[in-house]
Structure 1
Amino acid sequence: MVRVTVWNEYRHERESETVAEVYPDGIHAVIAEFLEDAGHEVETATLDEGPEHGLTEEVLAETDVLTWWGHAAHDEVSDAVVERVQERVLEGMGLIVLHSGHYSKIFKTLMGTTCSLKWREAAETERLWTVEPSHPIADGIGEYIELPETEMYGERFDIPAPDTLVFNSWFEGGEVFRSGCCYRRGNGKVFYFRPGHETYPIYRNEDVQQVLINAVDWAAPGDGPTPDFGNADPIEDIDTDDERTVH
């Protein structure tokens, strides 16, 4: 069982009737439900949940994997909270960044780039090709996932080259896009997954749900040793009194 916090901006669902029809209780509620059904311990947090956006030190300390969906209010996220999330990722917490979360402060901080891209909203077909079928995130997924109506994201996507590219998208209009990108930052794992525009029921698609369930398992911290940085005592006996001449 992985302890997951599902974070959502939760603005569109409250301000747009079109979005509310698709996600009446919020995108975070849908994601939380299928992650709970997969056996994980899930909590949710939203942008307007206090000055810390529901991501207090206590919440993050009890979080193994954080999922992040944001779109219209990236600039409203507190810099202090972003720094706190970054520290937890470097310590080992997993982070799954969804769709327009590519422009979030936390993703841009971890990537060190603008994370800019091309986009078009035209309800076009997307085909996500599984280009790394042996990766754990692709477990149970076929050769491709086809989504009949999506928002297009296109290259150039200004991100560092992924450690592993699991999915690559093709769109009806002709563009391609790196849609499933894995990274390691410090002791933590980061996965960016493109599908998820708020006006389409992307998170109700069973294949998309399976990808995110797999991603939570992959991003969860392992049981390896905690790295020890700084001045270190020797593992073996050494002669610390040996006089050495420095040239």
Structure 2
Amino acid sequence: MINAIIVDDESNAIKNLTWEVEKFCQDVKIIDSFTDPREAVSAINYLKPDCVFLDVEMPEMNGFELLQKLHFRDFELIITSAYDQYAIKAFREHAVDYLMKPVDSDDLKDAIDRIRVKKESSGLGSVLKSMISDWKGKEEKKLALAMAGKTLYLDRNEILYCKSDGNYSEIYFNDLKKELFTVRFKDLEEQLGKGFYRVHNSYIVRLDAIKAFVNQDGPSLMLANGTQIPVSRSRKSELLHLLNH
């Protein structure tokens, strides 16, 4: 059972979310809810929930200010908001998901699924760190790729992301240059190894180049150089699971 608390200054929003949770997430128990964020701080510290659904814009104390006042932070955070401009900040607070109001039942179920997976795999250690560590150990071995009658030998840590182009693959580098290679995208994905992740049918990104997850006009990633890469809904849950470990 996942014990959860809802914090939202609108009582109707609490009622609607409680109904969604009870209907679609039967292993989640709403143990309390608060319209006053000051009361919520004391309750979260005392009750120590597994999950907190937290509204952002509230009078007197917003959701991010509430987080700073907590002594207990060992819970999964799901931000709920009618505004999309707080998504990057929510990611920096290690939110499991950023749900736009009115909350979509499929998005809610995806968020709870990620919490279940994290609870079930809590003893497995950091998946993302392991993947990057494995990749770092292979950095000395160059990646050999064919292009226009020649072969280039590339350092994997110079690759920012890759894009599919039919039977070819475009590779974008840290210096913003790009090259077109005569390699199928699936084969490229296998050659790149665990330090990279296929976030979309047409995109592969270097994991440690990801700066933020953005849930605005569809899920996407912000890379270190500001490039925005789309994320397919089918890969969103697994990707967020990696990023939050």
Alignment TM-score > 0.5, same fold: no
Structure showing greater relative contact order (alpha-carbon pairs closer than 8 Å, 6 or more residues apart): 1
TM-score band (shorter)? 0.3 to 0.5
TM-score (norm 1): 0.38
TM-score (norm 2): 0.38
